[in-house]
Amino acid sequence: MAREDPPLIPPELLLRAYRAGIFPMADSRDDPEVYWVEPKMRAILPLDGFHLSHSLARTLRRGHFRITCNAAFDAVIDACAAPRSDAPESWISWRIRDSYRALHRLGAAHSIEAWLTDATGTEHLAGGLYGVEFDRVFCGESMFSRANDASKVALAWLVAAMRHGRAELLDCQFTTPHLASLGAVEITQADYLRRLEAAMRPLRPGAARGYGGGASSAAAPSAGALSGASAAGAGLAFGFAALAAAAAAAGSSSSPGKFIAQSLTQTS
């Protein structure tokens, strides 16, 4: 008799967990169980503290990568979950992957993709990240890179888009040397919960608190079904579009990375 796949983690449960400062992980790709993590120390990346190195600023200005938002969520999470030389077993189980794919379809999980065109003129996914969004909070889950600086560029766009989308808190969960080099800092869980509470308010006064904005928002059920997700018309998808529009208005449409590098330099 064929083994049945474990049930998805309900979207409402996932968002309640994030709003309480906890998140799910698994021991392996095939693990049907999840355990809920509440770290004693938490990594965040202050939106005004992103560290833009000279080399990363140069990469942004050159526009090597084409950056998109929510264009390939499934491919991003699959790449994040794939085995790596330094981590042969992923914490992103099939159950977790499918649960976040469902959350994305409801507009409360988002991805940033970095695309690179090779010598043959073929564009491929070179890096990216994904995470969960609610109110003024984005909880980054994982990132990957198949080319130098691909994930760093994706993160730079995320920070800039969050600023344009009026977000306040970028949760990185755990500190890594990679994140620390980009400005992530470690705080206590108690401090994180205080910041989380302060950031959990609607993005737009009077807006319904339902699912997050973006291409998938039309699939959302009745208002309030997922209390606490971003207000429609605001958030990361809105911020990303506003960022691209601001870059075009500034005359940087040929290389939006120039506009982003300048804006991050001014406040870093």
Identify which of 230, 208, 240 has the alpha carbon closest to the alpha carbon of residue 15. Answer: 230
pLDDT band at 146 (very low <50, low <70, confident <90, very high): very high
Count of beta carbons in the 10 Å neighbourhood of residue 154: 26
Question: Whole-prediction pTM value?
Answer: 0.86
Per-residue model confidence as pLDDT tens digits over 59-112: 999 988 999 999 999 999 999 999 876 666 789 999 999 999 999 999 999 999
Class in CATH terms, 11-267? alpha beta
Query: Among 47-61, 78-92, 253-267, whose mean pLDDT is lowest?
Result: 253-267
Residue whose tokens read 């992980």: 25
Task: Scan for tokens 């890594």, then name that residue.
Answer: 176
b/e per residue 198-215 (b: at least 16 CB within 10 A): ebbeebbeeeebbbbbbe
Look at residues 66, 71, 75, 77 and name the one whose alpha carbon lies nearest to residue 29: 77
How do strand 185-188 and strand 66-69 relate by DSSP bridges?
unpaired
Domain ranges of the chain: 11-267
Q: Output 256 or 112, whichever has higher pLDDT.
A: 112
* Section 37-51 average pLDDT: 96
